[in-house]
Amino acid sequence: MTQLDLDERRSTEPPAKLGRPLDVTRDADILDAALDVLAEEGFDGMTIDMVAARAKAGKATLYRRWPSKTELVIDAVACMKNSDLNFEDLPDTGTLRGDLVAMIKPPTIRDAEKKLRVMAGLISLIARNPELAEAARVAVIAPRAEINRTFLQRAIDRGEISPDVDIAMVSNISPSMVTYRTMMLAKPVDREFLISLIDKIILPSVGLGAAA
Amino acid sequence: MTQLDLDERRSTEPPAKLGRPLDVTRDADILDAALDVLAEEGFDGMTIDMVAARAKAGKATLYRRWPSKTELVIDAVACMKNSDLNFEDLPDTGTLRGDLVAMIKPPTIRDAEKKLRVMAGLISLIARNPELAEAARVAVIAPRAEINRTFLQRAIDRGEISPDVDIAMVSNISPSMVTYRTMMLAKPVDREFLISLIDKIILPSVGLGAAA
DNA sequence: AAGTTCCGAAACTAGTCAGTTCCGTATATA
DNA sequence: TATATACGGAACTGACTAGTTTCGGAACTT
């Protein structure tokens, strides 16, 4: 069951005729709590009681809305999609380097780090749960590369870089190295690291080595 | 308790005076079984019974040798160190590209993939268990970057690339992108991908874009 | 106010699994 | 052969947790 399914379910029972209506904002609170616990404990370390306590809800309430722990987590991951970056207001500075540097903002970095912590808690499951894997890919993994793809395509269109650049490969450099640095090396992803990444790896790979 | 501790314990009871001696090769079988299960199920999915069954051993035997599941896993990870690549016989072809390409061998790739599957099953724990994190870093993470560092240093020494190259950054490109591709994108790491990685990302980042 | 529905809290069920104990057997020394 | 030791297997304990049920109360509708 996905968030969309829930919305649908509710739209078929119009504005709720009698008694207290199902509160949609309650769903969001619970999903947020689930993400917090997930980031701190991982999937197996997370218990339904933890989530209920964090959301100040009863365990029964969670089971009234989601049929199982797994479905709750899938839904939580799917709803993690656009917590920070809106695709509409991406920077457009006129240069590839300008666009990439403009993405380095503390809130964006924090958002990415939380998502990575959630991902870390899920990875061992992803190999065995295709539905969860799909939710994670759509919500977390794809958007990061998509933004880079957009920047690169713009740069090609304006003639800044060669159209022969392997966009698929280059757009994954930053997600790969940020993820590895966080999850494997446990080192901070700070502005200095990201600037180095742009100037020493990404720009040279598109032929903007010294010209930038 | 580490493998070293076990060896020590055994060396203090000389060649075992009476009865059946503790069989050191039995340890290796059990640790291998643990790695197999770990790679397939992840830490939380792995049970002691599974490991015992796979090693054709009794559960009690495992607990005679390791005090807990966690210690067993830490030991297994630590022993994963040099299953394939020996630091002595690294290729030395005379060019950076030659060295990097020479590392692309099916057995090496398979070995790396298994290690990555084990890592995937551990990541959510690594954030909460420093001892395990250290074992994983020493056995899996550090060696991969170390090899690249060696190749890069050689290239600097022979004047092939500039001494200003950020070795720490460049030596992590390949581990990062291979890990991400495997764990997040669930795409195969084949020869074609690795060649592209070398020619399109790594070599340009050290100033060998077209000259190679 | 009456009726309905959802709520949080808590008790409960059932299954799983880490870790322990026990036992009959196999293998080595002496 | 007698003895000591570690073995595999199986039964057991205790803790934990997913999921269910129950219940009194709160909030909304009419």
Residue B23's pLDDT is 75
User: Which of A180, A185, A197 is the best residue to mutate to test the B interface, defined by the most B CB atoms within 10 Å of its own CB?
Assistant: A180
Residue A2's pLDDT is 43
CA distances, B134 to each of A19, A120, A176, B49, B206 (Å): 56, 17, 21, 26, 30
Distant-in-sequence contacts of B30-36, Cβ < 8 A, 24+ apart: B30/B55, B30/B57, B30/B61, B30/B62, B30/B65, B30/B72, B31/B3, B31/B72, B31/B75, B31/B76, B31/B79, B32/B76, B33/B57, B34/B72, B34/B73, B34/B76, B35/B76, B35/B77, B35/B80, B35/B114, B35/B118
Residue A21's pLDDT is 63
Distant-in-sequence contacts of B79-83, Cβ < 8 A, 24+ apart: B79/B3, B79/B28, B79/B31, B79/B139, B80/B35, B80/B115, B80/B118, B80/B139, B80/B140, B81/B138, B81/B139, B81/B143, B82/B143, B83/B111, B83/B115
Residue B88's pLDDT is 78
The ipTM (two decimal places) reads 0.90
Of B186, B197, B200, nearest to A133 by CB-CB distance is B186
> pLDDT confidence of B86, banded at 50, 70, 90?
confident
Q: pLDDT tens-digit profile of B158-208? A: 999 999 999 999 999 999 999 999 999 999 999 999 999 999 999 999 999
- Percentage of chain A exceeding pLDDT 70: 86
- What residue segments make up the domains of chain A, in order of their start? 3-78, 96-205
- Percentage of chain B exceeding pLDDT 70: 86
Query: How far is residue A122's CA from residue A114's CA, in Å, rounded to a whole number?
Result: 13
Question: What's domain A3-78's superfamily in CATH?
Answer: Homeodomain-like (1.10.10.60)
Q: Token digits for B192?
A: 């074609």
Q: What is the mean pLDDT of residues B125-129?
A: 94
Lowest mean pLDDT among A83-87, B52-56, B123-127: A83-87
- Percentage of chain A exceeding pLDDT 90: 81
Cβ pair A95, A105 in contact under 8 A: no
The shares of helix, strand and coil residues in chain B, as percent rounded to the nearest 5, are 65, 0, 35
Residue A8's pLDDT is 40
- The reply to whether B14 has its C-beta less than 7 Å from any atom of strand C is no
Q: What is the mean pLDDT of residues B138-166?
A: 97
- Amino acid in the structure at residue B87: F
Q: What is the mean pLDDT of residues A88-104?
A: 95
Q: pLDDT tens-digit profile of A10-49? A: 333 333 345 566 677 888 999 999 999 999 999 999 999 9
pLDDT at A5 over 50: no
Instruction: Kindly identify which residue of chain B lies nearest to residue A197, measuring between CA atoms.
Output: B169
Residue B25's pLDDT is 83
- Amino acid in the structure at residue B160: E
Q: pLDDT tens-digit profile of A149-170? A: 999 999 999 999 999 999 999 9
Cβ pair A121, A38 in contact under 8 A: yes
Residue B2's pLDDT is 43
pLDDT at A207 over 80: yes
Determine if residue A56 is left, alpha or beta; phi over 0 gives left, psi from -120 to 50 gives alpha, anything else beta: left
Nucleotides of C under 7 A from a protein CB: 3-11, 16-23, 26-30
CA distances, A111 to each of A191, A194, A205, B104, B206 (Å): 14, 15, 27, 36, 31
Q: What is the mean pLDDT of residues B70-98?
A: 90
> pLDDT confidence of A195, banded at 50, 70, 90?
very high
pLDDT at B28 over 90: yes
> pLDDT confidence of B21, banded at 50, 70, 90?
low
Considering only residues 180 to 199 of chain A, which have any Cβ-Cβ distance to chain B shorter than 8 Å? 180-181, 183-186, 196-197
- The reply to whether B28 has its C-beta less than 7 Å from any atom of strand D is no
Query: How far is residue B187's CA from residue B180's CA, in Å, rounded to a whole number?
Result: 9
Q: What is the mean pLDDT of residues A45-63?
A: 97
Query: How far is residue B41's CA from residue A28's CA, in Å, rounded to a whole number?
Result: 31
Considering only residues 128 to 157 of chain B, which have any Cβ-Cβ distance to chain A shorter than 8 Å? 128, 133, 137, 141
The shares of helix, strand and coil residues in chain A, as percent rounded to the nearest 5, are 65, 0, 35
Residue B196: CB partners within 8 Å, gap ≥ 6?
A166, A169
CATH match for B96-205 among 3.40.50.460, 3.20.20.70, 1.10.357.10, 1.10.3720.10: 1.10.357.10
Q: How many CB pairs under 8 A join A and B?
A: 118
Eight-state DSSP code of residue B144: H
Q: pLDDT tens-digit profile of A120-138? A: 999 999 999 999 999 999 9
Residue A69's pLDDT is 98
pLDDT at B11 over 60: no
